[in-house]
Structure 1
């Protein structure tokens, strides 16, 4: 049977999984914290009957914040069990906890680990965010009659094709979901084809995330004190920074100010070295403290956004942004946050992770599409020479983000309808 074969592959791969965790822990120590939890071992006390929500990484955890707020509004006193897979997700999740809530690592998807986790936690309902379909976890939940929801669900065409090749494994997992709350109708159709039974379109939670007003105000104040425009490259991935920096170094002065914000914090030092390798000077946000860039960074060619949780600050500081993950075949990252902050954005050719949002932003005049880095920088030059056009695009971006809010309330209502009248443990 496919699931049994899958389970044996995971068991045999456990040493490699442990080695990877330990290696990543060298750069991010949180990966070495409570490793036993990854296998359902040495779990701290958890009060039964909580709503369990899994947000694997930073992006999913940020989106979950809007859903959690809506759930608490509709069910006051709701207790949460948050699980994560990455250090950035767990760190961000700590800010969402209230008294009586708990936080753990999601167990490795082996039968023993998920059984121990569910037996110990005994949640009243499970919510998985976006794409987290784990065959053994969902099989074990179904065996315990634990309702499972896939919230803010998305499935790209590429992932759907991969799922079809593994349909003997993935179809039973999708079928075990009691409810799927999809971002778009296209996602919903692909998820139904993958085997999910009850699929409803609710929109994208990321539209409901409100920018940090204090950060946005500070960023805009900093921008007002600058004598040259700021171009941000946000959520950049390995390979993208080098390609961009090569072209940036060839841009004859006077250049705009480049603000570079890598996606993964473990790469901050490596990206700083890439900047220096191109003969450019760099100033890191982590060294500024409360000072403005003018005071702290001086005439540095590149500002490195090496902090977490300050995207609103970076967007407020910028005239236009370039979307990382979209100039490599990676599907792009969250472009909705830039729109909510009123920062127009240039997208690369690869945006399949946010396909509908990308097309909507383009149609609304809040974003532009570039074929590659050369095309993107050519567009940057044109936009910076037309400040009225940039200002109008910023207004369209804000309007675009506002028009698509409401997913959190819709998803929370659907989830609350599955909750028992009072939380109770599952044996």
Structure 2
């Protein structure tokens, strides 16, 4: 099955590079470092700890883990691979030059062999559920331990892997350790063929979120610029098909409270200009990237910068976490939770099913389905500040009760690293 997969990947490779070129029209970074996509790099490492985090979400989750490993092994180079430029930017902004970044090559045997021969990893730490057949085969051939950490497997993903059952089983049995979010995730991995004795349930390291020490001060400053007395809500990580719903809801809110302000943060930078144009057709809009002032007449503040989402959550009264009004699966509601913000989402939360259930059970998250229900949920919290405060406090309690996975996973990965370093 892996050979068929590889054959098909070779056939698709011209179209893969064509897709890179297409993306580079809006994000020129996709045209850079193309050699790395095939396993050619401008630097070499003799030994390294390798952490693979596909894109922004996985990279953010990996940051505390990387910091813990850096503290334990200060003399061992740490390499982080991603697929996307936004993931690369997160690595750079978090660690500067103290951590090496590379794009993971496409999952072809030759490219993976060149990568491993260049970087000489002593361990491969994969975030969440990024399973690549040739990557795992290359690590197995070189006897490099593979740790799948913060591992999650939704019912939808499990069904997808079930369609390629023999390949899924081959991949999972090449993994030396799987640290799963919860028991349900663990059982789905085992059902697909993972060895139960290599499975451990640790919880989700995303609950161990670290907030910058100066975040509260910077958020208060931003809020003061926006107008401290007005109602401010944020729609974070929005996707195509959601902004129209969100802006329609804001129109309903403004009919009741003309001073209400929406902080609108699209998920992908390539869409910033289009969303700015869309918002400006309905409301007076200010763009953060252009340092435009948020005046009392401003109705929409476009968060069109990178790395400032926590800051904007902190400046808001209520957080709507997007990617959930459409079948995208939702985004991380732990960040507003850690800031003690009441949370609203859409109904599509399959990427955060277990996490969202914890928030719903604690009455810290409300689900909405359309512009009307979103506006009603927001107006209820707008009119009842005490309920808003209590709901945010319950969200913070969910975070506090579920911390601890990070230290467990650092210990597990450290065991694999230490055994390799003393060989």
Q: 1:124·1:424 contact (CA, 8 Å) conserved in 2?
A: no
Distance 2:353 2:175 in 1: 24
Counterpart for residue 234 of structure 1? 236
3-state SS in 1 of match to 2:63: helix
Q: Which residue of 2 aligns with 1:23?
A: 22
User: Deviation at 1:100?
Assistant: 6.4
Aligned to 1:282: 285
Distance in 2 (CA, whole Å) between partners of 1:155 and 1:389 is: 34
The runs of 5 or more residues in structure 1 that have no matched partner are 290-294
Report deviation, 1:98. Answer: 6.6
Alignment correspondent of 1:264: 268
| Superposed displacement of residue 424, structure 1 | 7.8
Unaligned runs of at least 5 residues, structure 2:
none
Match of 1:9 in 2: 8
Shift of 1:287: 2.2
CA distance in 2, matches of 1:297, 1:107: 47
Tell me, yes or no, if the aligned pair for 2:364 and 2:391 is still in contact at 8 Å.
Answer: yes
Contact 1:231 1:257 (C-alpha < 8 Å) held by counterparts: yes
Distance 1:135 1:422 in 2: 23
CA deviations 1:301-342 (Å, max 9, x no partner) are 111111111122111111101110111111100000110111
Please give the alpha-carbon distance, in whole angstroms, between the structure 1 residues aligned to 2:302 and 2:98: 38
Question: Counterpart of 1:124 in 2: which secondary structure?
Answer: strand
* Alpha-carbon distance in 2 for matches of 1:266, 1:424: 46
* 1:137 CA drift (Å): 0.8
Q: 1:404 to 1:132 in 2, by over 3 A?
A: same
Cα separation, 1, equivalents of 2:349 and 2:235: 15
Match of 2:363 in 1: 365
Taking the aligned partners of 1:131 and 1:103, their CA distance within structure 2 comes to 20
Contact 1:180 1:199 in 2 (8 A): yes
- Asked if the contact 2:364–2:392 (Cα under 8 Å) also holds between the matched residues in 1, the reply is yes
Contact 1:182/1:200 (<8 A) preserved: yes
CA contact (8 A) 1:349 1:369 kept: yes
1:204-219, aligned counterparts within 5 Å?
Answer: 204-219=204-219
Alpha carbons of 1:98 and 1:253: their partners in 2 closer, same or farther (altered >3 Å)?
Answer: closer
Q: 1:123 to 1:109 in 2, by over 3 A?
A: same
- Residues 145-224 of structure 1: matches in 2 within 5 Å? 145-197=143-195, 198-223=198-223
Count of aligned residue pairs for this structure pair:
417
Report the Cα distance in structure 1 between the residues aligned to 2:389 and 2:96, rounded to whole angstroms: 40
1:32 to 2:31 alignment: yes
Q: Is the 8 A contact 1:207 1:401 kept in 2?
A: yes
Contact 1:150 1:181 in 2 (8 A): yes
Tell which deviates more after alignment, 83-92 or 187-196. Answer: 187-196
Classify the secondary structure of the residue corresponding to 1:419. Answer: helix
TM-score (norm 2): 0.94
Question: 1:221 Cα deviation (Å)?
Answer: 4.0
TM-score by length of 1: 0.93
Q: Give the equivalent residue in structure 2 for 1:103.
A: 101
* SS of 2:81 mapped into structure 1: strand
Which runs of structure 2 are paired with 1:297-312 in the superposition (5 Å)? 297-312=295-310
CA distance in 2, matches of 1:99, 1:346: 38
- Between the aligned partners of 1:36 and 1:222, the Cα distance in structure 2 is 41
SS in 2 for 1:313: helix
Q: Distance in 1 between matches of 2:383 and 2:223?
A: 17
- Would you say the 8 A contact 1:48–1:424 is kept in 2? no
Query: 1:288 offset after TM fit, Å?
Result: 2.4
- Which of 379, 388, 391 aligns to 2:389? It is 391
Mark the CA change 1:110 to 1:421 in structure 2 (over 3 Å): closer, same or farther. closer
In structure 1, what is the equivalent of residue 316 of structure 2?
318
Counterpart selection for 1:58 from 49, 56, 59:
56
Answer whether contact 1:124 1:420 (CA < 8 A) is retained.
no
Contact kept? 1:217, 1:316, Cα under 8 Å: no
Question: Deviation of residue 115 (structure 1)?
Answer: 1.3
1:219 & 1:97 partners in 2: Cα distance? 22
